Amino acid sequence: IVSVMLVSSVAFFLPKTGPTWADPVPFIKGVAGQGDFGTGAKKVGYSEDDSRLGGPFQGDNTLIFTATSRDRHYWRIDTKDTYTSKGWILSEGNFGKNIYQTNTPIQTSLQVGSPEKERKIQIDIASPMPFLLQTYGMISVSAQDSPLFIQDERTEKIAIEQQNGESKLLSNYTISYSEPEYSMKQLQMSELSTLETLDPSFKRFLQLPNTLPQRVVNLANDITKDKASVYDQIKAVEKYFSSHGFRYDKKEVAIPAEGQDYVDQFLFDTKVGYCDNFSTSMVVLLRSAGIPARWVKGFAPGKPGRITDGLQEYQITNDNAHSWVEAYVPGTGWMEFEPTIGFAGNVNIDYDIVQDTPQQEQVLQPEEKQEQPKKEEQEPKKETSSSTSFSFDSVWTWMKKFTYVWIALGILMILVGIALFMQRKTWIPKMQVRAFRKKEADWTNFDASYQVLTKQLSRIGLRRKDGETLRAFAERVDEALETGEMQKLTAVYEQHIYGKDKQEVDFVKLKESWENLINRTIG
């Protein structure tokens, strides 16, 4: 009786959160395939119609294509520029088409790396498509039968046609590319004032519907207000989703009601969704802050397979259909960004900024010396406070006056303890992520973080089997979580444990991979 009364009283006076869906009817109709809110649980995969986003979808592991490359790639198909509050459509206007032949340079709005780093990708198509798969840094495409590549300037989608204008389906082709490398020094020089001098052609990448709720704009300004450069503002928006209670899910995804904005619902009501929710929200937030951005569709890198002569084979299925963001950084150009929880971006950045670590040490040392006297001064105060006369009998008499209160608090603590134990798979890794963010990236902390990761994997049922090698365990984890991060971390861990001559390691990227994998286990 006491427990029921206590819980009921607390529940009555606590503030109430809003419903997961502002109106459950659209979601129910969407799943059932009724009304104008969706066509039931959609099947995952690339689609040209993005006018109505939201709702759950069914998985599909049908193989689409296989790529053989030395590098990991995001497979870009097209972009869209007009957000309608429900989804994406194409803007109106006169846009031309560019025609390219096989083995000729293809011009896009994206950067290309140096000619010395040019490499090739072999694409083998399993499900024929009348358009090209593009990778960042693409230079040209080679295919048999000399097809024509027709590029739409509005979307940068490249269709494959025959000489007579009919669509052509290729079974394989080769992409020549050189991955771009971005200078952090140049990115930090992207001053906010340069956004005011952009060419009018960028106006369509700043479009927002008139019905966009003001709280979305306010949130964008709040996220970016303390950032000194355009690049820092973009990264602040990209990282916002990983630390504010958002969750990746393909099933429990809401559909906005008729008068509800898709982005507003995700940012403030549900905070649950998949790549379309995260990427669309990031584009809208960037545009609200005055930064040109566009929505990109294609495929995630896919599942890594066998390695032959240094070339990795990647299998890309319908389940790898993905959307992400391209934002414009003045002085650098268009860059790709990945806001979706559990996905790792693929940007190469040269951290060419000199850090003044000696000066930081000089500043920290005096502070550390000053802290010691303060602690010594506090010790006598503790002694004087402890000398205050409080008899045990008086305390026990005071506690007996509130017997039921203490019983209720004890029961509440037990319930809280049970709840924390049941939810340990979620809150423990979140606390560990926050803790390791503050630690220095080095071998010692990497070892500790790897052990933390294996414990979290064990909590979700991915326990290392007896006699199983670390490499086999990592492959099994990556296959279960649809990622390639565990094998990267394990390779470095094996080098740390067994290697005599330790090679230089980018601990910053390792920490990002570790955090993405932890978030993946939570999702």
At 357, the pLDDT band (50, 70, 90 cuts) reads: very low
Question: Residue 357: inside a domain, yes or no?
Answer: no
pLDDT of 417 above 70: yes
pLDDT of residue 133: 95
Q: Which of 13-17, 104-108, 160-164 has the highest mean pLDDT?
A: 104-108
pLDDT band, residue 345 (cuts 50/70/90): confident
pLDDT value at 403 more than 90: no
Q: Is residue 501 part of a domain?
A: yes
Grade residue 378 by pLDDT with cuts at 50, 70 and 90: very low
Half-sphere exposure of 66 (CA within 13 A, CB side): 10
Residue type at 364? L
Considering the domain boundaries, does residue 418 fall inside one? no
Residue 413 within a domain:
no
Per-residue pLDDT band at 420 (split at 50, 70, 90): confident
* 380 DSSP β-pair partners: none
Give yes or no for residue 229 having a pLDDT over 80.
yes
For 235-266, the pLDDT digits (tens) are 999 999 998 999 999 888 999 998 999 999 99
- Whether pLDDT at 38 is above 50: no
Q: How many domains does the chain have?
A: 1
| Residue 389 in domain | no
| 210 φ/ψ angles, rounded to the nearest 5 degrees | -65, -20
Phi and psi at 366, nearest 5°, equal -60, -40
Within its chain, how far is the Cα of 326 from the centroid?
13
pLDDT tens digit sequence for 450-466: 888 888 888 888 888 88
The side-by-side arrangement of strands in the sheet containing 172-177 is 138-142, 172-177, 119-125, 63-69, 311-317, 303-308
The mean per-residue pLDDT over the stretch 194-198 comes to 92
**pLDDT given at position 69:** 95
pLDDT over 70 percentage in the chain: 84
Pairing of strands 97-101, 119-125: unpaired
Q: Is the pLDDT of residue 376 over 50?
A: no
**pLDDT at residue 399, rounded to an integer:** 63
Three-state SS at 308: strand
- Indicate whether 321 belongs to any domain: no
Q: Which residues have C-beta within 8 Å of that of residue 489, sequence separation ≥ 6?
A: 450, 453, 474, 510, 513, 514, 517
Which domain does 510 fall in, by range? 423-522
Residues 424-448 have pLDDT tens digits of: 777 787 777 777 777 777 777 777 8
Q: Which of 25 and 192 is assigned the larger pLDDT?
A: 192
The span from the CA of 241 to the CA of 255, in Å, is 19
Q: Look up tokens 């990002």; give the residue.
A: 512
Whole-number Å distance between alpha carbons of 194 and 329 = 9
pLDDT higher than 80, residue 363: no
- Is residue 229 domain-resident? no
Measured CA to CA, the distance from residue 65 to residue 123 in angstroms comes to: 7
Q: How many of the other CB atoms lie within 10 Å of CB of 176? A: 18
The pLDDT of residue 498 is 72
The mean per-residue pLDDT over the stretch 416-430 comes to 79
How confident is residue 400, by pLDDT bands cut at 50, 70 and 90?
low
- Whether 508 is in a domain gets the answer yes
Per-residue pLDDT tens over the stretch 119-144: 999 999 998 889 999 999 999 999 98
Whether the predicted model's global pTM rises above the 0.95 cut: no
CA 142 to chain centre: 33
Q: Is 442 exposed, middle or buried (0-12, 13-18, 19+ CB in 10 A)?
A: exposed
